[in-house]
Amino acid sequence: MTRRPSILLLLLLPYAAPLIARVGGGESYSGGGSSSSGGGGDGGGGAEIIFYIIRFLFWLTVNYPAIGIPVDIVVIIAVIKYLKSRKSAKETTVFSAAKTTSPARQGSRDINALARFDPNFSEAVFTDFCYSLYARAHQARGEGKLENLSPYLSPAARATLKQLGGGGVGGIVIGSFTIADFRGLESPTVTATIDFEANYTETGSQPMRRFYVRERWTLERQRDILSPTPAHAKAEHCPSCGAALQTRSDGTCAHCGTRVVDGSFNWFVRSIEVRERSDRPPSLLGHAAERGTESPTRYQHGFQEKFPAFLARHPEFDAQAFDQRVRLIATELQSAWTARDWERARAFETDALFSMHRYWIDEYKRQRLVNVVDDFTIHRVEPVKVMSDTFYDALTVRVYASGNDYTVDEGGNVASGSKSAVRTWTEYWTLIRGRAAKKTITTTRNCPNCGAELKVSETGICAFCGGKVTSGDFDWVLSRIEQDESYSG
Ligand SMILES: [Zn+2]
Ligand SMILES: [Zn+2]
């Protein structure tokens, strides 16, 4: 079995990078695919020793019960304690294994728990915020204007960025975004660790240089504050008063005079660690084993009650139309991927996901490769999870698909994969829709707001009605794709 290096994989955001890394032979990009054993490690030699110990205890108990029985009791207690600790050790092993192989969104389940303290918290909005801040931060360091972002970036974080140099930074594209860790819910301050993979061009030097980078950002904020609404969530507003971000040289807001130096009002970047910065592009060829396709579906805990409850709250929800929309999106993404034309997919995904897909499609163009999936077929779309926050409903489905997947160079020669071998795979797709969206589901290539034929700008704005169709304000849009092995439910 080889791994399809296809759209549904590569374009698959955060997950794509480590796969490519594995494929490319463990250079840069992401933790690499080691770990992931989990169980089965200690058998062999240990079993033999245990056998002799039990035989000795049996002999001792029969021949010298006064010594044997107390020893038995001690051993039994020790064994129970060992098994208990082993169980928790195993849980952590599985967790850390999942973490290395699936950076997708470990810990994000926890970050959703923040909604218990902050009813405005929305993972989708938080993701947008991180994207926006990342791009702004690198742009600002290119312009030598990092101080303007001091309400969001600590002196240490700004210093790290400043060291990278100025002179212009452009073409900032995020290829992967991972909530690697989230903690602190039991304390007044919560901390989120975010791993970015991105590329950008530094225009200050001649010739201009393109960099592929991995960065770890540590963000913190007060647990008990209220998140801004989606409209104010893009790091372009004063965290304190919400006016357009305009920071005076002493770090105070030009409007409200507040000097923001921590997470008292919103997320605040405590530190940035540049883990990799290289001008070597990621490899787009090669294979890794397809894993998890046969795994049983991971349903949300309580899904049997939660999904009917969602349907009861939304009597107008047309499950068949939703199914059709997922298939439409899948087909459009696949076509866009092979044509290396992201405009075509633009209307169907959130800004964040679009950015990730563009990262990979640009890379295919740069490396003069085309990934093709012939006979692309969606077999089944199965709802597995439903979530709602203040601003969005989110539905996750498991998508079953197959096709002949291969990559060709621009001369049409197969560079990897196979034209004849049929591959099957499944993925978990999460779609979001604004809570205030109108309720009909569009299943054709038409604007979900005005009904005109789809024609959207790079920012997702309909050319006819001016509606931002990628916001989820009008219809379901794709916000996340996760592989079987990375999907954590
Ligand atoms: Zn202010
Ligand atoms: Zn429109």
Q: Report pLDDT digits (tens) over 124-142.
A: 899 989 999 999 999 999 9
The CA 330 to ligand 1 mean position distance, Å, reads 43
∠ CA 307-311-312, nearest 5°, is 115
Q: Would the CA dihedral through 453, 337, 132, 97 be positive or negative?
A: positive
Q: How many CB atoms lie within 10 A of CB 285?
A: 16
Least confident span in 41-45, 203-207, 407-411? 41-45
Nearest ligand (C-alpha, residue 257) = 1
Domain boundaries defined on the chain: 7-29+290-483, 44-101, 108-278
DSSP state of 244: B
The CA 198 to ligand 1 mean position distance, Å, reads 30
Q: What does each C-alpha distance from 76 to 52, 56, 376, 486 come to in angstroms?
A: 16, 14, 57, 38
* Residues 6 or more apart in contact with residue 151 via CB below 8 angstroms: 238, 239, 240, 245, 247, 251, 253, 260, 268
H or E element: which one contains 417?
A: strand 414-434
> Does the pTM exceed 0.75?
no
Nearest ligand (C-alpha, residue 451) = 2
The CA 461 to ligand 2 mean position distance, Å, reads 8
Mean predicted confidence (pLDDT) in 317-334: 96
The CA 446 to ligand 2 mean position distance, Å, reads 8
End-to-end CA distance of the chain: 26
The CA 224 to ligand 1 mean position distance, Å, reads 20
Domain 7-29+290-483 bears CATH identifier 1.10.357.10: no
How many residues make up the chain in this entry?
489
DSSP state of 462: B
User: Which residue type sits at 349?
Assistant: E
Which residue, chain included where needed, has tokens 């090669």?
286
pLDDT band per the 50, 70, 90 thresholds, residue 284: confident
Mean predicted confidence (pLDDT) in 2-16: 39
User: Which residue type sits at 244?
Assistant: A
